[in-house]
Amino acid sequence: MTELLGLPPALTAAPAVRAAFTPYATLGAALAVQAALARALAAAGLCTRAQAEAIVGACDPARYDLAGLAVEAARAGTLAIPLVRRLTAEVAKTDAEAASFVHRGATSQDVLDTSLVLQLRAALGVVRADLDGLTGALRALARQHRGTLMTGRTLLQPGPPITLGLKAAQWLGGVARGVARLDKATEEALVLQFGGAVGTLAALDQAAPAVAQGLARALGLKLPPAPWHAQRDRLAALACAVAVLTGSVAKVARDISLLMQAEVAEAAEPQGGGRGGSSAMPHKRNPMACTVALAAAHRAPGLAASVLAGLPGEHERAAGAWQAEAAPIAELVLALSAATAAVTEAVAGLQVDAARMRTNWDALHGLPLAERLAAALAPTLGRAEAHALAERLCAAAVAGGHTLAQAAAADPAVAARLDDAALQKLMDPATYLGQAMAFTDALMAEHPP
Amino acid sequence: MTELLGLPPALTAAPAVRAAFTPYATLGAALAVQAALARALAAAGLCTRAQAEAIVGACDPARYDLAGLAVEAARAGTLAIPLVRRLTAEVAKTDAEAASFVHRGATSQDVLDTSLVLQLRAALGVVRADLDGLTGALRALARQHRGTLMTGRTLLQPGPPITLGLKAAQWLGGVARGVARLDKATEEALVLQFGGAVGTLAALDQAAPAVAQGLARALGLKLPPAPWHAQRDRLAALACAVAVLTGSVAKVARDISLLMQAEVAEAAEPQGGGRGGSSAMPHKRNPMACTVALAAAHRAPGLAASVLAGLPGEHERAAGAWQAEAAPIAELVLALSAATAAVTEAVAGLQVDAARMRTNWDALHGLPLAERLAAALAPTLGRAEAHALAERLCAAAVAGGHTLAQAAAADPAVAARLDDAALQKLMDPATYLGQAMAFTDALMAEHPP
Amino acid sequence: MTELLGLPPALTAAPAVRAAFTPYATLGAALAVQAALARALAAAGLCTRAQAEAIVGACDPARYDLAGLAVEAARAGTLAIPLVRRLTAEVAKTDAEAASFVHRGATSQDVLDTSLVLQLRAALGVVRADLDGLTGALRALARQHRGTLMTGRTLLQPGPPITLGLKAAQWLGGVARGVARLDKATEEALVLQFGGAVGTLAALDQAAPAVAQGLARALGLKLPPAPWHAQRDRLAALACAVAVLTGSVAKVARDISLLMQAEVAEAAEPQGGGRGGSSAMPHKRNPMACTVALAAAHRAPGLAASVLAGLPGEHERAAGAWQAEAAPIAELVLALSAATAAVTEAVAGLQVDAARMRTNWDALHGLPLAERLAAALAPTLGRAEAHALAERLCAAAVAGGHTLAQAAAADPAVAARLDDAALQKLMDPATYLGQAMAFTDALMAEHPP
Amino acid sequence: MTELLGLPPALTAAPAVRAAFTPYATLGAALAVQAALARALAAAGLCTRAQAEAIVGACDPARYDLAGLAVEAARAGTLAIPLVRRLTAEVAKTDAEAASFVHRGATSQDVLDTSLVLQLRAALGVVRADLDGLTGALRALARQHRGTLMTGRTLLQPGPPITLGLKAAQWLGGVARGVARLDKATEEALVLQFGGAVGTLAALDQAAPAVAQGLARALGLKLPPAPWHAQRDRLAALACAVAVLTGSVAKVARDISLLMQAEVAEAAEPQGGGRGGSSAMPHKRNPMACTVALAAAHRAPGLAASVLAGLPGEHERAAGAWQAEAAPIAELVLALSAATAAVTEAVAGLQVDAARMRTNWDALHGLPLAERLAAALAPTLGRAEAHALAERLCAAAVAGGHTLAQAAAADPAVAARLDDAALQKLMDPATYLGQAMAFTDALMAEHPP
């Protein structure tokens, strides 16, 4: 509906992910469930193979009028009712008896939940592959810039130096942990829904287990210990896993968008291919990939909240909570897809300006190494006094337009304790990277390709 | 995209509201802005009337390939850039000079924000009329059942009696106050966006005020004191007004769905026309209208949260926050429309079973009047002792299967204080309605047709 | 602050959980981190054991003026800065040199994040034990009522029968899966934070790994591959696990509160001990435990959304996102604790009225078995016609005040197909429980004690 | 509870706002309601003046054991029940008969809702005065820097110039509109709650209107047309108004925090008084006020969502939704207070570096004026070609390290159209401020002191 408003995930997600959630895809999934059910009924001896195939033959989404179905579904409050009616009529055209086996034993929610599961499987398969691309690009960036020195920034203010490699490895850590959580949540959530009217499969009598197993097998889904019409925790956990991961992907975009600021200019996402221009400003090189990812992350918390709100639904099928759940779950997956595709492009083509990183560092006049200077003075001055002296030297350096090294060298209390060589070494950022590379390596090792 | 998943507002909103937010509608709105801009430029003397009309002539959405535009928009991060390019080319076919006036002075966000405003105006106009239908139906229900006695229920437990009229008037109060807030928020939010690249209209030089006024006039929108590219409070306030009202509409649905329970059976939404059936259960009379409204209300808080989250965007145009805002605003309006249409149907056709209301009350054996009994005894027994005695009498009535009147009559402490006639009157719910009708009248008077 | 407003989780959580998040507990945790750091420094040879013990001795929260610290913390934007200053002063009273080792190598966020982790460990330990109590109570209920027949209810309308055992087993499934997710998220999230100013531990030079390992060991926390100042995914995933589980716990409360309705009266939470009364209504038996749990679940989605919103923070330490995260995480744990304690009490003492369950079923006149009747007729009538006939028989039964069995027996189309004995058996709910008990057993087996 | 975790609003709000929501304040408000009720009962002739004063005398919060009350309230699910019990006992010590009039006619929710209203009135009064301080500071900043040129920035990239005055006036517009909305929502929401058990005031019989009016008068609150136990829209609208305004206040903080970046350095919030330091980095000048405000804004959307989620509560008093509402409303007010106080400090003491603003502009080499250059060339080159030429000139300027003016001057197509003087004037940012000052003036006029 709203695909051209702003930059919604529905427009910027991967085409195959978008395709998984179209109305046509929902119809196709619902018919796939009906076809699999027919075959499971036959396998369990409830109908003949020919009857099953008559149903299967009618389960072609192209045969149905989607717009008309949508109108009826909106009235009925579910797609399943008008679809079952039309499918039954379609089957009856060729085999009146077979028609009586359509939807046998199932309830609307069985069809719709399992359809959602099938659509999520399709969509998440695509997203998952894209995520491998992203972690690969992050790994490559971390490797390539393992030693590239840049300013560390906390609370948007400069601190001691880090490496771009560490920054990239931290991004990798967040994304890779999220992927692992997504995998686990996906495996748990993508299971068959099949319980009949109130979740007992009573209409199938003794054949119920066989039909359920056959249906699960036909669809390639795991069979859970029981239906889950009113226990939505698996889907909610999946929604949360998607939301967390979207946030971690957008974290990369946040940092790149800040590094792209003209006054920082340490990195830039690649331009071209219609991306990054401005309708009013010919010179603009906008962080469009980052913007897409950040927009996706802006949606995720509210979407996850909508899914979480539905958990305490009523009795054996909720009135309102369940029906509100599928759309935000799909939108979360679209958001993750959009963010992943955009950030992968940004990272894979990232234009790194290592020289500018050094220039920006040098422009800080060594102030972020005040911590180091204070530490070097603490053993002889005391920590509090050393901290206070370092603060005064910083102020003096700023006031005089000097470097901290210059201000320190001019201070008798420092001069009495540190000779020039020691001071120079203290003020060299390359010798103050600490565990930056070790942490980079550890993160890379924790998340191998 | 996700219109057939569950019961999303996108499927159940009024058709005209849905139509307002389709990609085609967005394209149409963006072209309407461009056409109005062209005429405003001409009126301000920046181009000729003929040039303006050349542009206006090209602003027919049917001339453009929506799918192709969507692909380019997704890349560009905005619809405006590819649209300006194509519109310019289209104009150039007939008038090369006119083409140079396309989008003159505007920035992408001017076009997209004003388009959203136009779409919201169209959609909210429809919703607003539907809301009048709802308040009318609520007023009629309150009037008709001004004296219909029913059990009051707090924390899902029975209390003293109320009237259905009061319940309906309370529903009316919540909805009507929400409509008043919506009107105010709509009036404030639906204003022109026109600021050029950074919100100064510098590209139009001295002509800027005239062009802005002409554009506002052409679109029938108010001109705010300044552009609002990075001040999104008006739209956020509108989103909140929609969310609050959706909740108040769904409150009606909550109550009706509870009254429809088979064990309560005091009211039912009308059935028929394809609504309320079940694919598995022929006997089912499902509260589908209520379910639609409750599903809409399940979405609203998360959608409002997404809009609120975008307020602290960066500098003169946010990277991510702005782009994430339009879709949830539209979805909120769709949710309100869906809830309003469904609840209007439920209220207008509500099947009230006043006899059952009385039967349900009688089945409580007068226990909810224990408060009244305690109050009658308090002057002579003391409040605490009277409360405790009433509790004991309730327990005795429950244990013995008696009414509270019977248990009270059998208690010497009561008998010493209240004769039979007094006790009967105390236990008559019709004499314990307090201000129910006065409050009903006051709420009706506060919100006249 | 707001503990007496409404029924916030802060008031209704388990006392030991509440205690874990008081300001005093935060102070204590921060000092525990400082003490452990001192010992780790000594173990790594950076200071003497005596100096470390001088620091440890000063790490007694009772020595500090909490109110004064709070004022300074509010100004400083962090507790760590005034605390380090005061701790340093306190140590200096006995050992001036030792004072210079206070907080050595650490940054504020190291102390605050690790403090939060310690507080979460304490709180979640309590919650976890309470959750075992809840799953135990659910298991007992499922076992005891494995065969207790009750009406199944979908969309708040009656359907075919289920058993209370299945209902309880479904509750168990939701809660037990949530507990498993919580365990995993807890294990992942409760790790040491230690990275120094920008996450490189540069101030500790070569000794960094040894200090980090010593600190982790002293606190009994795992050491992650790298600090996580700006990668908050583990905590966000933990917050989500808590939110999902809170929803599953509240699902139990939702159902019990509905079963407690006077018109349903199939089950009731235990009363007494100051719970469930009303200030105005002596007869009231309010579902207070359920209300507490539902109120907790009302908070959870918004709290989780707040945590998720913070993921894309800036660079090496976020300005705003990080600082907003700890409170909602704590509030989520308080909410889960409150919900768990309340629902455990409700389930463990649940007053089940099996006779009323049967009475309520009988009052439905067999209508929910229309599905079964339709299925029995479908082979000879065709599915559509059988469904339509069943609908007509339901309508006739309702109109005439008969049971569905009576209406069916009077219908020639039925009579021609089903004799009386067959009809009676069809209409017996006890023979239409399908897999209710098998699913109960499977859920119990999936989640053993 | 969680006041020292992170930087929650509960710690950083104005002390008087914090005081309004302590448990002691809640107790005091509840007792103030009881005292006012006693006097209203006397004025209506239901009890004697002496009895009323006996109750009033006992309504001193210092007489009650808050901790004990909290424990009982947690059990009872409401503060009202144990408080009524204790208050009754306290009154009975001096006047046994008077004790029977305690809480007469009221229900728990009457007391708690009205208490919340009183607490909100106290807190919002403080916040409102602070907001006047903020709008005053914004107005002063806009006035002082009406002509101060700075780079406009969209999508975090430089655009044409704006003035700091316009930026400040835009901030003012957002905040001032929010204040107007807050005023309106406050006036609507802060009304008396008084309805008795089910909202009919039946227990007070004919005296109900008089008691209600007396109670409203005694508390200085408006009397609404009816009680609103289950219609929470006014409070939800107030919560939303607070959330929107918090976002607009935090927008100021967002921009200042970005301007404070070392590489931008155009403005800085004032330091000192314990604010802005770092425990690890002596040189740090952290944007702590901005961080406080941004943290508050991170909470607001989730808190508002929690309030919105409670709107569709059950019947005459919700089970869960109502009880979950008060705490997030209070937290929103705390968040707004914290943000307002912090941003007022930042704006009032803002250190503006106008020279650096110009330096940063100059470092852009005029590229953001490419739009202007393109426009100047469009009439003779055509818009598309002019835009493309401007893009090429930008690229050439960047590649060659020249200004756009230099690149343009070297281009024959430009040289043929624009002489040097014209080019210089085109590239002068001071002549390209468009309506910056007019918009500033209009915003200031729209929101006078």
Q: Is B7 a residue whose pLDDT tops 80?
A: no
Percent of chain A whose pLDDT exceeds 90: 88
Full DSSP string of B211-224: HHHHHHHHHT-B--
Amino acid at site D339? A
Q: Report whether B6 contacts A330 (CB < 8 A).
A: no
Nearest by CB: C200 against A174, A228, A435: A435
Residues in D closer than 8 angstroms to B319, CB to CB, are 155-156
Q: Determine the average pLDDT of the residues in A220-232.
A: 98
Q: What is the mean pLDDT of chain C?
A: 95
- At A378, the pLDDT band (50, 70, 90 cuts) reads confident
Answer yes or no: are the C-beta atoms of A325 and B294 closer than 8 Å: no
Cα–Cα dist A298/A300, whole Å: 6
Over residues A118-171, the pLDDT tens digits come to: 999 999 999 999 999 999 999 999 999 999 999 999 999 999 999 999 999 999
Residue B19: its pLDDT value, please?
A: 96
Closest to A218 in 3D by CA, of A228, A226, A210: A210
Q: In chain D, which stretches have pLDDT less than 70?
A: 1, 273-274, 276-283
Residue range B52-88, pLDDT digits in tens: 999 999 999 999 999 999 999 998 889 999 999 999 9
Q: From D158, which residue of chain A is nearest by alpha-carbon distance?
A: A262
User: Taking a C-beta distance cutoff of 8 angstroms, is the pair D110, D34 a contact?
Assistant: no
Tell me the nearest-neighbour CA distance from C401 into chain A, angstroms.
25
Establish if D268 touches chain A: CB-CB under 8 angstroms: no
The band of A276, judged by pLDDT with boundaries at 50, 70 and 90, is: low
pLDDT tens-digit map of A293-303: 999 999 999 99
Q: Which of D3, D4, D275 to mutate to test the interface with C (most CBs of C within 10 A)?
A: D4
Of C157, C257, C374, the CB nearest to B285: C157
pLDDT digits (tens, 9 = 90+) for A239-268: 999 999 999 999 999 999 999 999 999 999
Nearest-angstrom CA–CA distance, C270 and D67: 25
The pLDDT of residue A271 is 81
pLDDT of A16 over the 70 cut: yes
Is D298's Cβ below 8 Å from some Cβ in A? no
What is the tens place of the pLDDT at every residue in A20-49? 999 999 999 999 999 999 999 999 999 999
- What is the rounded CA–CA span in Å between residue C31 and residue D276? 22
Alpha carbon distance A170, C195 (integer Å): 12
Quick check: pTM over 0.95? yes
Which chains form contacts with chain B, at 3 or more CB pairs under 8 Å? A, C, D
Helix (H) or strand (E) holding A362: helix A354-362
C346: left (phi over 0), alpha (psi -120 to 50) or beta: alpha
- Across-strand partners of C268? C351
Catalytic member of A317, A337, A358, A372:
A317
Of the residues C317, C337, C358, C372, which is catalytic?
C317
User: CB-CB: which of D156, D302, D370 is closest to A281?
Assistant: D370
- Cβ-defined contact of B282 to C257 (cutoff 8 Å): no
Determine whether the interchain pair B116/A5 forms a contact, defined as Cβ–Cβ distance below 8 Å: yes
Q: What is the mean pLDDT of chain B?
A: 95
Residue C215 has pLDDT above 90, yes or no: yes
What pLDDT score does B385 carry? Answer: 86
Contact between C300 and C247 (Cβ < 8 Å): yes
Tell me if C157 and B263 make a contact (CB, 8 A cut-off).
Answer: no
Nearest-CA distance from D108 to chain C in Å? 6
Cα distances (angstroms) measured from residue D61 to each of B384, D24, D49, D103: 21, 7, 21, 16
**Nearest Cβ partner for D281 among A257, A278, A368:** A368
pLDDT at B227: 98
Q: What is the pLDDT of residue C280?
A: 58
Does A282 lie at the interface with B, CB-CB under 8 angstroms? no
Check pLDDT > 90 for residue C303. yes
Contact status of B287 with chain D (Cβ, < 8 Å)? no
Q: Return the pLDDT at C295.
A: 97
SS3 for B59-80 is: CCHHHCCHHHHHHHHHHHCCCH
Determine the distance in angstroms separating the CA of D185 from the nearest CA of chain B, rounded to an integer.
9
Q: What is the pLDDT of residue A42?
A: 98
Query: Can you tell me the distance from the alpha carbon of A330 to that of A324, in angstroms, rounded to the nearest whole number?
Result: 11
> Residue B279's pLDDT is what?
60
Q: Quote the minimal CA–CA distance from D3 to chain C in Å.
A: 6
- Searching chain B, which residue's CA lies closest to the CA of residue C158? B262
Q: Is B45 on the interface with D (CB under 8 A)?
A: no
3-class SS at A142?
helix
Give yes or no for residue B276 having a pLDDT over 80: no
Are B108 and B194 spatial neighbours (Cβ–Cβ below 8 Å)? no
Tell if the CB–CB gap between A370 and D282 is shorter than 8 Å.
Answer: yes
Question: Mean pLDDT over residues B154-167, rounded?
Answer: 97
B26 to chain D, closest Cα gap in Å: 22
Confidence at residue B263, expressed as pLDDT on a 0 to 100 scale:
97
Q: Which of B214, B228, B217 is nearest to B311 (CA)?
A: B228
Contact residues for B39 (Cβ-Cβ < 8 A; gap 6+): B52, B56, B214, B218
Q: What angle do CA B132, B133, B134 make, to 5 degrees?
A: 90
> What is the pLDDT at residue B278?
61
Provide, rounded to the nearest whole percent, the portion of chain A with pLDDT above 70: 97
**Known active-site residue C49:** no
What is the per-residue pLDDT across C161-179, written as a single tens digit (0 to 9) for each?
A: 999 999 999 999 999 999 9
Question: Per residue in A95-122, pLDDT tens?
Answer: 999 998 999 999 999 999 999 999 999 9
Per the CB < 8 A criterion, the answer to whether D285 and A157 are in contact is: yes
Residue A30 Cα, gap to closest chain D Cα (Å): 31
User: Is the predicted ipTM greater than 0.90, yes or no?
Assistant: yes
Q: Given a cut of 80, is residue A50 above it in pLDDT?
A: yes
Highest mean pLDDT among A75-89, B267-281, C334-348: C334-348
Is the Cβ pair D116, C321 closer than 8 Å? no
Q: How confident is the model at residue B382 (pLDDT cuts 50, 70, 90)?
A: confident
**Mean per-residue pLDDT of chain A:** 95
Yes or no, beta carbons of B255 and D314 under 8 Å apart? yes
Q: Which of residues 375-394 of B touch C (CB under 8 A)?
A: 387-388, 390-391, 394
Enumerate the residues of chain B whose CB falls inside 8 A of the CB of residue C257.
156
Note the pLDDT tens digit of each residue in C276-298: 666 656 667 899 999 999 999 99
Instruction: Say what the pLDDT of residue C77 is.
Output: 86
Backbone angles phi, psi at B18, to 5 degrees: -60, -40
